[in-house]
Amino acid sequence: MRYGALMAALLLGACAKPREEPMSSRGALKDAPAAVSSSGSERPQPRGAATVRTDQGTYSAPAVRFSADFLNDPPVPLMRVALSAQSEDGGSWRFRMAVDAKFLESKHATARIISQTALGPGLAVVDSQLAQGPAMTMDEGTLELTVTGNQARGEVRTKDGRVRATFEGPLTIECMVPPAWLSGANVQGAPPAPVPSSPDEGTIRVPDEALATRQCRSVADAFR
């Protein structure tokens, strides 16, 4: 009887142990995917805005703006790149830069920074303002801009070469055309847009938001 009882106890112990281990192992594997999924959802997402970093702080904006203003005669666009960013405490940092048609191919431009407001290709204005402080315009330096796809990045340097600011972010396209262009032969498959009335139509520009004109489509295609 003692021998029979001992064998029964050993058999019960041997059967019980394997049953516990597989259950514990399956439970650990079942929890593992949930842990990976949780950590994945907590990863920081890329920012969908332009960011400016300076020695005075960080500023942000929805995007870097590229604008093309087409004229009637000659049909050559006036093109600008601009960024107007703000800091959390209410400060601001801005630049405006004029570029020419070559920029659509090279996607790169360097401009000399000036303190005047009138801009031509190769010139830029950079100004900033601390929260509750006076506005300051940068007198001299260079602004370098590069666009890759629809992403813009660049930097502002002083005359002696020191980096004063860097910026990067998505590029948005704004295209303005004479009203007649939207209702003329250049429109392909798009209804004419409403236009403002004026005795001098040549001075009016209207936004071609649908890129109905081939001129605006060409500008937008350059940054895809």
- Position 73 scores a pLDDT of 65
Residue 212's alpha-carbon distances to 30, 112, 141, 208, in angstroms, are: 55, 34, 39, 7
- All residue ranges of the chain with pLDDT < 50 are 1-47, 185-186, 191-194, 197-202
> Cβ of 47: how many Cβ atoms within 10 Å?
11
d(CA 174, CA 207): 7
- Position 182 scores a pLDDT of 84
The residue written with tokens 């950079």 in the block is 126
Burial class (CB in 10 A: 0-12, 13-18, 19+), 80: middle
Q: How many CA atoms lie within 13 A of 78 on its CB side?
A: 12
Alpha-carbon torsion, ordered 123, 119, 62, 134, to 10 deg: 90
The predicted-structure confidence for 146-157, as pLDDT tens digits, reads as follows: 999 999 999 999
Q: How many CA atoms lie within 13 A of 196 on its CB side?
A: 12
Residue 106's alpha-carbon distances to 103, 113, 209, in angstroms, are: 5, 20, 24
pTM over 0.85: no
Domain boundary assignment for the chain: 50-221
End-to-end CA distance of the chain: 88
- Position 34 scores a pLDDT of 34
d(CA 63, CA 56): 21
Contact 126, 95 (CB under 8 A): yes
Catalogue the E-assigned strands of 71-188. 77-86, 92-99, 108-113, 123-129, 135-137, 142-148, 151-157, 163-177
